[in-house]
Amino acid sequence: MIYLDYAATTPVDPSVAAVITEAMANAHTLANPSAVHLAGRQSAALSEAGVETVASLLGCAARDLILTSGATEADNLAIQGVARWRADRGRHLVTSRTEHKAVTDVFSKLEREGFTVSWLTPDANGLIQIDAVREVLRDDTQLVSIMHVNNETGVIQDIAGIGEMLRERDILFHVDAAQSVGKLDIDLESLPVDLMSIAAHKFYGPKGIGALYVADRPGCQLEPLFYGGGQQRGRRPGTLPVPLILGFAKAAEIAMERMTDDLKHVTGLHDRLLTGLQQSAGLHVNSHPQSHYPGILNVSIDAVEGESLLLGMEPVCVATGSACNSRNQEPSYVLRALGLSDAQAQSAVRFSFGRFTTEQDIDAAIDAHVTSVARLRALKPRA
């Protein structure tokens, strides 16, 4: 099996797995960190140190992080939490049509509850222009949510530019950074972002833990999704999973050490993959030519049916859409929003790769794609 679906989830780094395994068996992490006895205090100290490490990766203070079960919960907490907290000031919200379902579905729910949502359409390369955001803002706009790196196309949005424009208007800015944290340099001390969602399993950490960054500034508050227990200052109660926090921290530590090397590695793999795939005629890259994360390459191919292409490529594991809806064979809504036809979107394949991907893996993927395309085209009725 050749795994090229890192955007869905990355393999756990062996060092991270070792930390978690050890923590699961360690007496110091057995106790509930909220308990006041010695074991609880030991557990709390480890947990706090872990959150400090994650905060270092983001360039923020540990107290500004709320641990969650992952990015989906963080997105829900940010969007629902802010919308409800600030509902008496206004009920207008803004997002884009190419966000992850964990964002779009939340905005759809809020629409059904009576909030008004402006849905931005990106340009043909997938970028949300700052002017497009500015044009839909109103006096009662409370929150704008734009992702950093798109999970299907790898397009990198100008979150610094959008954030600056929103700061001038005192509108909160949420960024789903599940695909960028640990891979691209992020410094929340300088970035004008108020809320940021992250997930450990997207950068070689464990599944089941993530975080929401909430800026410590006036007006940036949210209503919790859960109640009971009072942990994390009541913003996200529930017993903290210390072994997962330590794994999260280890993944963050490795990311800080390896980010430059990892980026160089995936850039080389991206270029090798694209060159190889271009052996087939009619290949189209679904991304921005410059502003994209090189660990994701999304391509469409003329005159080939996507589902058959994917099966023909096995045992190379790639995706047609995001993992959350890959069993749904409808064309990707993200690619449709970029202006692709149903057929183009339907033939799209997302290759995503990272730290543990080798050049041999990429060569095998090229061979599988090129061979499968040729075979399916040979079977297709002639025009």
Write out the residues near another protein by the rule CB under 8 A.
Answer: 303, 305, 307-308, 311-312, 327, 329, 342-343, 346, 376, 378-382
Single-letter code of the amino acid located at 369: H
Single-letter code of the amino acid located at 294: P
Q: Kindly tell me which of 256 and 303 has the beta carbon lying closer to another protein.
A: 303
Q: How far is the CB of 350 from another protein (least distance, A)?
A: 18
Q: Kindly tell me which of 52 and 302 has the beta carbon lying closer to another protein.
A: 302
Q: How far is the CB of 308 from another protein (least distance, A)?
A: 5
Distances (CA, A) of 327 to 41, 72, 100, 322, 324: 45, 19, 16, 9, 8
Q: How far is the CB of 340 from another protein (least distance, A)?
A: 15
Q: How far is the CB of 331 from another protein (least distance, A)?
A: 10
Q: Are residues 260 and 215 in contact, defined by beta-carbon separation less than 8 angstroms?
A: no
Note if 324 is an active site residue. yes
Q: Kindly tell me which of 305 and 361 has the beta carbon lying closer to another protein.
A: 305
- Provide DSSP, 335-372: HHHTT--HHHHHT-EEEE--TT--HHHHHHHHHHHHHH
DSSP structure class, residue 140: T
User: Dihedral, CA atoms, 372, 349, 1, 314, nearest 10 degrees?
Assistant: -30
Q: How far is the CB of 383 from another protein (least distance, A)?
A: 10
Q: Kindly tell me which of 77 and 376 has the beta carbon lying closer to another protein.
A: 376
Q: How far is the CB of 305 from another protein (least distance, A)?
A: 6
* Cβ atoms < 10 Å from Cβ of 169: 11
Q: Are residues 304 and 359 in contact, defined by beta-carbon separation less than 8 angstroms?
A: no
Prior bond to 315 cis, omega within 30?
Answer: yes
Report the distance separating Cα 332 and Cα 298, nearest Å. 12
Pairing label, strands 92-96, 283-285: unpaired
149 by DSSP, 3-state: which? Answer: strand
Span between the terminal Cα atoms of the chain, in Å: 36
Q: Kindly tell me which of 221 and 329 has the beta carbon lying closer to another protein.
A: 329
Q: Kindly tell me which of 55 and 345 has the beta carbon lying closer to another protein.
A: 345
Q: Choosing from 60, 220, 317, 324, which is the catalytic residue?
A: 324
Residues serving a catalytic function are 324
